[in-house]
Amino acid sequence: MTDATTPARASGPDLAGLTNAAAWLDAPFADLTVRPAPVTAPGPHELLVRARAVAVNPVDVVKQTTGDLMYRWLPAPAVLGEDVAGDVVAVGSAVTRFTVGDRVVALAVGVEKGEEHAPGGGFQQLVLVREALAAPVPAGTAFEEAVVLPLAVSTAASALFQGGQLGLRHPVGAGPAPTGSAREVVVVWGGTTSVGSAAIQLAVAAGYDVVATASPANHERLRALGASQLFDYRDAGVVDDVVAALHGRRVAGVLAIGTGSAGPCVTIAARTGAPRVSMASPSVSFGGVPRRPGLSLGLVRTVVALGSRTAAVMVRSRLRGVRATFVWGSSLMHDEVGPMLWAGYLPSALAEGRFVPAPRAEVVGHGLEHVQAALDRLGEGVSATKLVVTL
């Protein structure tokens, strides 16, 4: 049976004999459990992908750590995971960009509100993804390299290009951009993150000059991605230094990535005349919250701090004439930014080396049973690294 939100599905010999397994979140706060999962035929605009690599993201950790307090639309049992790379094993009747056997990287949106949660979760062997949120993996690029991209590049593109965010011109179809000192500037706070690494490349591709923050050990890597000036976010005077470097130039927007980044980014925007700040991270970290049922002091403190600090940033931005908004990475599946990125830009940019997967992938293990270890590692904190599990 189908309804308005469930695509009609075909069945056929392509799926005969296929079996599936997933890393299930069977109950709030529980460890992931690897057990069988259904094989679901793709709808008209979907691909069924045999995952060869998956990556973990903070949203997965937050959901597992907070139970139903966060993302209440995603009840257990659930299959988490957004980053997938693998081989196409079946295509929907209306798919035009891919065929069986193609190597693809894709944003899995099963965790999102209104989606079919289990078939579209990334932490499984056979994943349903939208054709519109997939791109070919070039020959010579390993799946574990490509899989660092999906949620990060989608978040970066949403932050930079959506009208409700920074609203910048797109990297395709916009015509030639100004060169040299006439170029507008985009500030990326948190350049070594996966979102920051993608944002630097996308903004440069769209014709902007990029100023970014990172620890000095990562400055050369970010210059290779296209950033023109780098500042150490840990320096006490970093905000003053960034503002001084931007004196007399037009700042198109500021992207805040990382816990605590919103405050300094609002200040930079206000002092440079930038109209908008896009915030890709919450105001507090959930890293210290114990993963167990019931209220804990750590959880209460984190939730209270989240509310108070977020409110303070929003009030401060309004008082200083800056529009500050949070970005949701998968929101591009509902607007023109999704097809611009996944169908218009990434296929050729990846194939020609104009966009490279970054940061580096660290393979935690092989097999779904290692996804939990990757989540635990991520909860402890990593830097300039994307944690990946191969399948």
Q: Which pTM value belongs to this model?
A: 0.92
Q: Domain 13-148+359-390 adopts which CATH fold? A: Quinone Oxidoreductase; Chain A, domain 1 (3.90.180)
Q: Could you tell me the pLDDT band of residue 371, with boundaries at 50, 70 and 90?
A: very high
Assess contact for 251 and 272: CB atoms under 8 A: yes
| Number of C-beta neighbours around residue 98 at 10 A | 19
Q: Model confidence over 213-242: pLDDT tens digits?
A: 999 999 999 999 999 999 999 999 999 999
Mean pLDDT for all residues in the chain:
91
Over the stretch 258-290, which tens digit does the pLDDT of each residue have? 989 999 999 999 999 999 999 998 777 776 677
59 vs 181 pLDDT, higher one: 59
* Calpha distance 66→359 (Å, rounded): 27
Q: Give the burial string for 33-50 (b: 16+ CB within 10 Å, else e).
A: ebeebebbbbbeebbbbb
- For the 153-329 domain, the top CATH level (class) is alpha beta
Residues contacting 309, CB < 8 A, separation 6+:
283, 284
The answer to whether residue 2 scores a pLDDT higher than 60 is no
Spatial CA neighbour of 280 closest among 157, 112, 105: 157
Nearest-angstrom CA–CA distance, 218 and 94: 44
- Domain span(s) for CATH 3.40.50.720 in the chain: 153-329
Residue found by looking up tokens 């293990």 in the block: 365
Average pLDDT over residues 338-348: 97
- Domain span(s) for CATH 3.90.180.10 in the chain: 13-148+359-390
Dihedral sign of CA atoms 180, 186, 192, 194 in order: negative
- Name the amino acid, one letter, at 286: F
Which residue, 82, 70, 58, 69, is CA-closest to 287? 58
> Among 194, 141, 193, 185, which residue's Cα sits nearest to residue 166?
185
